[in-house]
């Protein structure tokens, strides 16, 4: 009889981020639309955001973040089996942003594809990486969240323009013992909520025309008030779901890396989970909402700041257009920046050392 192959888990072995140099502050917006620094800060928690240079497309931002993640993981582009890019702002509709990144990175062996799940895209990407690694379709998956939202924001619409920023975050995912690394991922969608956050034109339903450009239909339109309660509920519910699947509860969380859409949303989720402030990571004041890039950017900052300890229970949670939402719970396996865990030091676990 054929021996059953062992289940294998997956874990993050390297992270990287990149944000463009140009800073757009709340004071800059006071000169552009009818708004104020006080309003933006009080309602969103945002002070400033980064804006890509004219020559930079999403793949350029993704390239910097990916190179840093590969370096931290101690591998080269040749080692990558799959590239999953979560984005709503690919360089072009065809080819995919992931294929463009593959070429720029020189990851010639990798299968490359984009995932459209708006702000939940990075969580979806981790779910996909976990699936293909678990099924032994791939050993090394590069998951990237990247956005150049400045290209699809209407800078005359104060309801949206103050919220968004550009940036990229990346993670290298590799096999590990099933008891550590990514313990669970929940992924959800509800197309009935699609009209709450929409770019009306540019797709097959409403192709680009002079009229669509004049009506600014290629920019994000949002019903922020409707999104707010959905965001709080969906992030809490999916994180609890992922925790339960991992046999854990909210009190087991050492750190939460939430999507950065609005500080008030993050605070409401934290209160519902009954977590102290120091367990909820926040950087929205510096980058605004970078959609699918917000979680991997925050994660990389946490890694580099030494905020994540070996064996920590880490929760990721996001919601976004679609509507989409989802969460991921991990038992952290990197002993220090760039170093995979040793077998002995993760409680109750074997190792995060890559297995083939």
List residues binding ligand ACO (CB under 6 A): 35, 39-40, 43-44, 118-119, 158-159, 162, 197, 222, 224-225, 227-228, 231, 261-262, 289, 291, 320-321
Both tokens assigned to 76: 């080269």
Distance of CA 240 to the CA centre of its chain: 19
Of all helices (H) and strands (E), which one includes residue 228?
Answer: helix 224-245
User: Closest separation between CB of residue 276 and ligand ACO, Å?
Assistant: 23
User: Closest separation between CB of residue 275 and ligand ACO, Å?
Assistant: 20
Both tokens assigned to 241: 């779901």
Q: Verify whether residue 289 is a known catalytic residue.
A: yes
Between 65 and 162, whose beta carbon lies closer to ligand ACO? Answer: 162
Q: Verify whether residue 218 is a known catalytic residue.
A: no
| Residue 25, phi then psi, degrees to nearest 5 | -95, 170
Between 3 and 31, whose beta carbon lies closer to ligand ACO? Answer: 31
Task: Looking at 108-223, list the stretches that DSSP marks H as alpha helix, in order from N- to C-terminal side.
Answer: 121-134, 158-161, 210-214
User: Closest separation between CB of residue 334 and ligand ACO, Å?
Assistant: 27
Between 179 and 285, whose beta carbon lies closer to ligand ACO? Answer: 285
| Cis-peptide, bond into residue 52, ω within 30° of zero | no
State how far the Cα of 141 lies from the Cα of 143, in Å rounded to an integer.
6
* Annotated catalytic residue, options 97, 188, 262, 289: 289
Count Cβ atoms within 10 A of the Cβ of residue 335 and give its class: 0-12 exposed, 13-18 middle, 19 or more buried: middle
User: Closest separation between CB of residue 294 and ligand ACO, Å?
Assistant: 8
* Residue closest to ligand ACO, measured at CB: 224
Between 40 and 105, whose beta carbon lies closer to ligand ACO? Answer: 40
Q: Verify whether residue 176 is a known catalytic residue.
A: no
Beta strand segments in 99-165, E = 111-115, 141-148
State how far the Cα of 320 lies from the Cα of 198, in Å rounded to an integer.
11
State how far the Cα of 96 lies from the Cα of 110, in Å rounded to an integer.
13
Nearest Cα to 343, choosing from 310, 315, 303, 309?
310
Between 89 and 333, whose beta carbon lies closer to ligand ACO? Answer: 89
CA distance to 10, 176, 267, 347, per residue, from 239 (Å): 19, 22, 15, 22
* Annotated catalytic residue, options 99, 259, 262, 328: 259
Report which DSSP code applies to 322: T
* Annotated catalytic residue, options 119, 161, 176, 328: 119
End-to-end CA distance of the chain: 23
- Give 8-72 as a DSSP string: -EEEEEEEEEE--SEEEEHHHHHTTSS--HHHHHHHH---EEEE--TT--HHHHHHHHHHHHHHH
User: Closest separation between CB of residue 193 and ligand ACO, Å?
Assistant: 11
Both tokens assigned to 51: 């804006």
User: Closest separation between CB of residue 253 and ligand ACO, Å?
Assistant: 22
User: Closest separation between CB of residue 225 and ligand ACO, Å?
Assistant: 5
Between 22 and 43, whose beta carbon lies closer to ligand ACO? Answer: 43
State how far the Cα of 96 lies from the Cα of 339, in Å rounded to an integer.
32
Between 322 and 340, whose beta carbon lies closer to ligand ACO? Answer: 322
Please identify every residue annotated as catalytic. 119, 259, 289
């Amino acid at each position: 009889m054929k021996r059953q192959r062992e289940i294998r888990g997956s874990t993050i072995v390297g992270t990287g981020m990149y944000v463009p140099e140009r800073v757009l502050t709340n004071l800059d917006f006071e000169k552009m639309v009818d708004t104020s620094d006080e309003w933006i800060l009080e309602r969103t928690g945002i002070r400033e955001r980064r804006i890509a240079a004219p020559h930079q497309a999403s793949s350029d931002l993704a390239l910097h973040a990916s190179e840093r993640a590969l370096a931290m993981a101690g591998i080269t582009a040749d080692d990558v089996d799959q590239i999953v890019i979560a984005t709503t702002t690919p360089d072009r509709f065809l080819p995919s942003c992931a294929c463009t990144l593959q070429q720029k990175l020189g990851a010639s062996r990798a299968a490359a594809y984009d995932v459209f799940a708006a702000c939940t895209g990075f969580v979806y990407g981790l779910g996909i990486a976990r699936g293909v690694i678990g099924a032994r379709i791939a050993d090394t998956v590069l998951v990237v969240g990247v956005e150049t939202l400045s290209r699809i924001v209407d800078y005359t619409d104060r309801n949206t323009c103050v919220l968004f920023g550009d940036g990229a975050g990346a993670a290298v995912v590799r096999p590990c013992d099933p008891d550590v690394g990514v313990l669970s991922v929940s992924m959800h969608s509800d197309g009935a909520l699609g009209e709450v956050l929409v770019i009306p034109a540019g797709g097959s339903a409403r192709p680009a025309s002079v009229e669509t450009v004049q009506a600014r239909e290629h920019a994000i339109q949002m019903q922020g008030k409707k999104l707010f309660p959905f965001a709080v509920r969906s992030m809490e519910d999916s994180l609890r779901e992922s925790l339960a699947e991992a046999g854990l509860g909210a009190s087991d969380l050492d750190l939460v890396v939430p999507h950065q859409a609005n500080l008030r949303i993050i605070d409401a989720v934290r209160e519902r989970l009954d977590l102290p402030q120091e367990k909820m990571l926040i950087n929205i004041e510096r980058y605004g909402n970078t959609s699918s890039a917000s979680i991997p950017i925050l994660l990389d900052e946490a890694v580099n700041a030494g905020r994540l300890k070996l064996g920590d229970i880490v929760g990721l949670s996001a919601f976004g257009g679609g509507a989409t939402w989802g969460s991921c719970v991990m038992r952290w396996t990197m002993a220090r920046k760039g170093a995979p865990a040793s077998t002995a030091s993760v409680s109750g676990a074997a190792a995060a050392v890559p297995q083939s």
